[in-house]
Amino acid sequence: MTEAQSSVTLPVLPLDDDVVLPGMVVPVDISETEVRAAVDAARAGDDSAAKVPGIRSASGKGNHSRVLIVPRVDGSYATVGTVAVIDQVGRTPEGEPAAVLRGVARARVGGGTTGPGAALWVSAEVRTEEAPEGGYPGKVREAAREYRSLLSTYLQKRGAWQVLDGLQQLDDPGALADRGGYSPFLKVEQKLRLLETYDVAERLRLLSEWTREYLAELDVTETIDKDVQEGVEKQQREFLLRRQMEAIRKELNELEGKPASEEEDYRERVEAAALPEHVREAALTEVEKLERAGDSSPESGWIRTWLDTILAMPWNERTEDAYDISGARETLDADHAGLDDVKERIVEYLAVRKRREERGLGVVGGRRSGAVLALVGPPGVGKTSLGESVARSMGRSFARVALGGVRDEAEIRGHRRTYVGALPGRVVRAVKEAGTMNPVVLLDEVDKVGADFRGDPTAALLEVLDPAQNHTFRDHYLEVDLDLSDVVFLATANALETIPPALLDRMELVLLDGYTEDEKVTIARDHLLPRQLERAGLEPSEVEFTDDALRAVAGEYTREAGVRDLERTVARVLRKIAAGVALGERELPVRVGADDLRDHIGRPKHTPESAERTVVPGVATGMAVTGTGGDVLFVEASLADPESGAGGLTLTGQLGDVMKESAEIALSYLRSRGAELELPVGDLKDRGVHLHVPAGATPKDGPSAGVTMTTALASLLSGRPARSDVAMTGEVSLTGRVLPIGGVKQKLLAAHRAGIGTVLIPSRNEADLDDVPRDVLDSLRVHTVSDIREVLELSLEPAGTSEEARPLAA
C-alpha cells in the first residue's frame, strides 16, 4: 500500500457523536448553524483552493465543493477528520435542509486559517491510499478474507442480501476496512479509532476482533430470545388447552346432569386453604399433574387421595396451652392417685413453657418446645390413661397410636404413593385425627414393636422422637416437611430391655413402679368402684364397699403392681351382688366388708408363705423385677448323697445365663471362704449341688439373686435356716462384695405386698430409697450391706435355733 500526502485548506463540518470513514456516503442535517456555515462556505469558496490532488468529484455532478468532517466527541474535536465531497444539497421529505456527503480521504487537522463565510477554516494534511503495484501482501489479504467472512455472517443474520452482494464485489482491503464504518454495532470510540488508524492490516484486525465479539453476543442473545419465546408460547398453549379442557368438562357435566362442583376444583381448594408455602407449592404441582391427566388415568386417583390428605391436615391449627399450673396439677391428682414423678414432670414442662412464652422464646431455630416422655412400668399402673389426663391438663387434643406388634417400618413413616392403597404413617394420621399440630400423642407399647424383613419400626421412630430433628419430619406418603416439634409424645412400655438404646436415649425416662396398698385402696374407692357400679347397673347408695374390704382385695385376693386385677375382682363382687338380687337371694342395699369377701369370691389367693418356705435350711427369700413389676422369689438348695455319684452344680427353674453365673460365683465364694465362714465345704467336691428357683415355667435372669443364692447355700451347709421375715437382693462378687442392682423401689413394694418385715439391699443402693413411698419405708426395716458376711449374719438364724425363728433386730 502507498500513501500520497498533500496540504489543503477546508471548512470544518463538525459531526457530533458520529464518525464518517472514507468511502461512506451519509446524509447530514444542515439545520445547525455550524454545519450550514461549513456547507455554504465550501460551495461559495475558491474551487481551486478546495481541490485535493488525486481526488475526483462524483461523475456527472460537476460539483467540487469539499469539507473536512471532524468528529466531535464529548465537545472535543478529534485530531483526524475525513475529507468529504458534497454530492447533493436539498431537503428531506419532512422539509428539513440536508446534504449528502461522501468521504474520500483521511486528513490530519492542522491550525486554523481564514476563508470565506462564517465557517471555521483549517489547514489539513490529506493522506490518500493506493494499492501497491504488486498487490497487498498475504497478511493483509488473509485479514481481509477473515473480516469478509465475519461480516458476511453478520449480514446473513440481518438478512441484508443486497449489501452482501456488494460486499462480495469489493476487492480493495482498505476500502473493505473503511466499510466497517457502516456497522451499527460499533461505538463512536471504535469508529474514531478506525479513522485514526492508517495501517490497513491493523484496521482489519480490529474490525475482525470487534465483529467476532459482537457475533458471540448475538448468538447468546438469540439463544435467550429463543428460550423466552418458546416459554411464552408454551404458557400460551397450555393456557388455551386448559381453558378448552375446562369448557369440555363443563359441557360433559351438563350433559350428565351434574353441575360443576367447587369441591372437585382442587386448584381453588388449594389456593383457598391456609397452607404453608412449601406445602402449597407441592400441592399446586400435583394439581397441575391432575389437570393434565385424564380421568381414566390411574395416577389421577392417587393424586386426588394425596390432595385430600394434604387438605385435611391441620397445618395452621394449634390449641392454646392452659398455663394454669395449679389447675393442671389438680386435674392430674383428680384422675390418678400417686404417680408423683410423672405429675411433677408435666407441671415442670408447663411452667417452663409458660415462662418461655412470656419471654418470647416460643420458637427458637424453627423448633418449638415439645416433650418426649417414656412412661415405663408394669401393666395396670395407668400409663395409657395418664396420656388423656396430660392432654386435658394442658388443654390439648389427644391421639393414641397403638404400636404393639407393629413390624412394618412404613407404619411409622408411611407408604410410597406408588403402592396401591398407600397411606401416611400412624404419626401423621394421629396428628390429622387430633385436628391440631400440637396434640398429645401417646405411643402405646413401644417396647413391643417388632422387626422383620419389612424394616425396623423403632429405627423410624428415632426421627419422630428426636427434638433436634422432628421439626422437619418427612413422611414417605406426604413427601413434605411436617413440624412435630410442638407435639408432646408419651411413650409407654413395660420393659426397658426390649427398647433399643438409641431410641431410649431420645426420651426422658419416667419409671412407674407400681402402687402401694394405700394407693390401691384410694384408686379403688375413687375411680374403680364408681366405674364398675355404673357398668353393673347399681347406684352408689345400693352397694357400699368398706376400706377394709378394698384393702383385703388388694392384699389377699390380688397381688400385682397395677390395679387391673383389683378392678376385675371388684367387678366380680358387684356382678355376684347383682345376680343375687335378680334371683331374690339378696336385697339392696348391700354392705361389703372384709369378712364378706369369702362369701362373694371365695377364699384369699395370696397369703404370706415366707415362714413355711424358709422353715428348713437351704431356702432363702429374694426379690426380683419382672415384666409385671416387683416380685418375691425363693431360692432352694440341696446336696446330693455322696454315694449317689452325682457331682457338680445343677441349676433348674428356667434361669438365664447371668443368673447361672451368679450361682457359680456363689458356690465358688463359699468354697474359697468355707473355713473363714465356719462352713463344712470340704466335701462339696464329692457331692452334687442343686439350686432351684420355683415358678419353673417363668424365665428368670439377672445378677440380683446372687446374695440370695449364697445365703441359700450357706443355710444348707450350716444347717441354720434363713429368717422367714427377711428378703434380700444384690449381686455378689468372687471376693464377697455386695454390688448394686436396679429396681429397688419395685422390689421393696413387692416385699411390702408379701408381708416381709426386713429387707437387705446393697449399700450403694441407699440413694434409691428416696424414691420409695414413705409409708412403705415406715413398714419395713431396711438394712444396707456391703459384704456377704453381713448378709449371712442378718439373714440366718443363730446356730442351734429351732424351727421357731427369732425376730431380727432393727
Question: Catalytic amino acids?
Answer: 704, 747
Give the span between the Cα atoms of 301 and 731, in whole angstroms. 63
Cell output for 730 = 444384690
Give the span between the Cα atoms of 59 and 85, in whole angstroms. 12
Peptide bond into 589 cis (omega under 30): yes
Give the span between the Cα atoms of 66 and 9, in whole angstroms. 10
Give the span between the Cα atoms of 740 and 762, in whole angstroms. 5
The alpha carbon dihedral of 360, 361, 365, 370 has a sign of: negative
Task: Flag whether 744 is marked binding.
Answer: no
Q: Are 81 and 10 in contact (CB under 8 A)?
A: no
Query: In this structure, which amino acid lies at residue 666?
Result: A
Considering only CA atoms, give the Rg of the chain: 52
What's the number of CA atoms in the CB half-sphere (13 Å) around residue 665? 23
Q: Are 121 and 114 in contact (CB under 8 A)?
A: yes
Task: Flag whether 555 is marked binding.
Answer: no
DSSP H helices, 7-75, are: 33-44, 47-50
* Helix, strand, coil percentages in the chain from 3-state DSSP, rounded to 5: 45, 20, 35
Task: Flag whether 379 is marked binding.
Answer: yes
Give the span between the Cα atoms of 172 and 260, in whole angstroms. 76
Alpha carbon separation from 237 to 195, 241, 292, 293 (Å, rounded): 52, 6, 13, 17
Q: Are 756 and 634 in contact (CB under 8 A)?
A: no
What's the number of CA atoms in the CB half-sphere (13 Å) around residue 779? 17
Q: Angle at Cα 15 formed by Cα 12 and Cα 17, nearest 5°? A: 150
Task: Flag whether 380 is marked binding.
Answer: yes
List the beta bridge partners of residue 84. 67, 103
Task: Flag whether 377 is marked binding.
Answer: yes
Please report the DSSP string for 349-364 in residue order.
Answer: HHHHHHHHHHTT-SEE
Give the span between the Cα atoms of 712 and 796, in whole angstroms. 9
Task: Flag whether 384 is marked binding.
Answer: yes
Q: Are 514 and 469 in contact (CB under 8 A)?
A: no
Q: Are 378 and 563 in contact (CB under 8 A)?
A: no
Enumerate the known binding-site residues for ATP: 377-384
